[in-house]
Amino acid sequence: MFTAMLSSCGNPDRGSGLNHMYDAPLLGNPQSLDPQFADDPSSNTVIKNLYSGLMTTDKSGGLVCCNASDYSVSEDGTAYTFHLREDNYWFFDENDDDVIDDEECIPVTADDYVFALQRILDPKMHSPYAESFSCIKGAKVVLRGLEPPDAAEVYAADDSTLVIVLEEPDAEFLNLMATSAACPCNREFFYSTKGRYGLDDRSVMSNGPFYVRQWFYDPYGNNNILYMRRNEKNWTDSYDICPSYLSFTIEKSEEAIRKKFKNDEVECFTTLNSSTYNRKKYLVEGKAAETLGLVFNPEDRYFSNEALRKAFACSIDREGMKSQLNSDDCITAYGMIPPAVNLLGRSYRELSSEKQFDMYDSGKASELFEQAKGELETETLDNVKIIVSPDTADARVLHYLTQSWQELFGCYVAIEDVTEEEFEERIAEGDYNIAVYPLKANMNSGLSVIKAYEDTPCLQYTLPEEKISDSIKNIPTASELVESYTAAEKKLIDTCGFVPLFYKNSYLIADRDNEDIIYDPFSGAVDYRLALNFD
């Protein structure tokens, strides 16, 4: 999992930074605190601080053991054996007194992980992570409803030993086990909630750094909060939990969050736009986890023509676009997989040069445009518009694009700004010629980006009969994974269905007296476990 970490340079005499109570915002009420089901940023933030899994990422983004003391892999690369730490506990504040009594603490066992993975694969649950875990042996027949969830080869050899068998070797499996979806679920507690697991503060228990003390939300009120305290039972020499409290305010808009940040009522927030925040005054750090590209309406009278789509794809001079960017929020993109995707502890884009996907050729673009006009039996393109949500793309660069199209093709393309809601409606209804479309994965992997492309309805017409993602699952080595991702990118880019324009940054912005707040731009989760405050 990629993490962006906010860290400030500081004076060693300013104190330890420990035991702070963080005031932080959530944009919207968490939909659920069930890690096998939730996938919105607010839920993901609370879940990240409520649970912990076998694997995690360290401050630098490297993969390390968390609740696993160690693990081993069979010679054929298909069987993973995890040995659990003995000092990880479930805690539920049954007495509602903020005192962590030993009788309220239950050791986390291998069966808790077995049950969690079985829940993901159970087709009745409709987990958004089910396909990601289909690499487990027997998972595919379970997902099809042909076998019960316990047919998947995940089992507890004993209370502290978990064995997971894969269909084939998979170089990204450990990264998958570092996601929140792979966090444990206590079978007995789950059934005791009678269908309300993760839906209120009495239906969750913690095996991570914090537990939920209070969760209050009134959709018609303003004083909505989710309050967490440190799980002292899990604070050990090998597992630091730096803050003592997390006090979340639940807000309805980013505008409300920005106002609270300005008034020092919250200490950090996430955003796609950092332009108004001075980097000398605030800690501002982010990574490009989203790719913006042109998509064409395949039912449009003009862009149903393949030659025309390719003409527009070949017309884009990304080097020229660079000079038009007026903020750091976007950088020009040649590939589909953004720089925030990590592999082997490095950005995937460092391992696979994106310049190999550059299609810019003005001569070829002109030839294709003339070919398209002949096939369409037209001399010009009338009333062509490109729709865009203003918060998504840099309008200055879009004007550069439309000017270049007018010079090269002699046709005028108007820019139409629409709200995000209207944008989604018009894409769904096919009411557009061209659109600037955001492509974003929900986890840090190239495969997740490819799946996001395949799951986008307006791009279905570009897909081959066999899913490209199926051909890049279960790749045994990282070097082969790079080759497979690169080949998949090229295959999809060559269809000219999605033409990459920019990689868009997302940010965590914080006061300068903070260190080690870790942000995952894919899930939107903010991790406070190691956060220090020197105010």
| 463-512 pLDDT per residue, tens | 998 889 888 877 888 899 999 999 999 999 999 999 999 999 999 999 99
Q: How far is CA 250 from the centre of its chain?
A: 21
Q: Is the pLDDT of residue 85 over 70?
A: yes
Instruction: Give the pLDDT confidence score for residue 1 in this predicted structure.
Output: 45
| 144-175 pLDDT per residue, tens | 999 999 999 999 999 999 999 999 999 889 99
Comparing C-alpha atoms, which of 498, 496, 435 is closest to residue 307?
496
> Sign of dihedral through CA atoms 53, 57, 63, 68?
negative
Question: Distance between CA atoms of 122 and 150, rounded to whole angstroms?
Answer: 9
- The amino acid sitting at 500 is P
Question: Distance between CA atoms of 525 and 506, rounded to whole angstroms?
Answer: 12
Question: Distance between CA atoms of 158 and 333, rounded to whole angstroms?
Answer: 49
The 10 Å Cβ neighbour count of residue 255 is 9
Instruction: Give the pLDDT confidence score for residue 409 in this predicted structure.
Output: 96
Question: Which tokens in the block code for residue 323?
Answer: 């000079």
Question: Which tokens in the block code for residue 172?
Answer: 């990204």
- Strand (E) or helix (H) holding 249: strand 245-251
Q: How far is CA 273 from the centre of its chain?
A: 17
Q: How far is CA 399 from the centre of its chain?
A: 30
β-strand 413-417 against 384-388: which pairing, if any?
parallel
Question: Distance between CA atoms of 169 and 166, rounded to whole angstroms?
Answer: 7
| Backbone φ and ψ of 271, nearest 5° | -160, 160
Helix, coil or strand: residue 90: strand
Q: Tell me which of 58-62, 124-128, 290-294, 403-407 is least confident.
A: 58-62
- What the chain holds in terms of domains, given with CATH numbers, is 4-280+512-533 (3.40.190.10), 287-505 (3.10.105.10)
> Sign of dihedral through CA atoms 258, 262, 268, 272?
positive
Overall pTM > 0.85: yes
The CB-side HSE value for 317 (13 A sphere, CA atoms) comes to 17
Q: What is the DSSP string of 516-535?
A: -EEE-TTT--EE-TT-EE--
Q: How confident is the model at residue 529 (pLDDT cuts 50, 70, 90)?
A: very high
Question: Residue for token digits 């894969």?
Answer: 166
| Backbone φ and ψ of 470, nearest 5° | -65, -30
Contact between residue 497 and residue 296 where contact means Cβ atoms under 8 Å apart:
yes
Instruction: Give the pLDDT confidence score for residue 10 in this predicted structure.
Output: 45
286-307 mean pLDDT: 96
Instruction: Give the pLDDT confidence score for residue 397 in this predicted structure.
Output: 81
Helix axes 362-376, 395-409, angle to 10 degrees: 70
Q: Is the pLDDT of residue 2 over 80?
A: no
Q: Is the pLDDT of residue 224 over 60?
A: yes
Contact between residue 405 and residue 434 where contact means Cβ atoms under 8 Å apart:
no
The 10 Å Cβ neighbour count of residue 410 is 12
**Between 532 and 535, the higher pLDDT residue:** 532
Q: Is the pLDDT of residue 98 over 70?
A: yes
Question: Distance between CA atoms of 201 and 197, rounded to whole angstroms?
Answer: 10
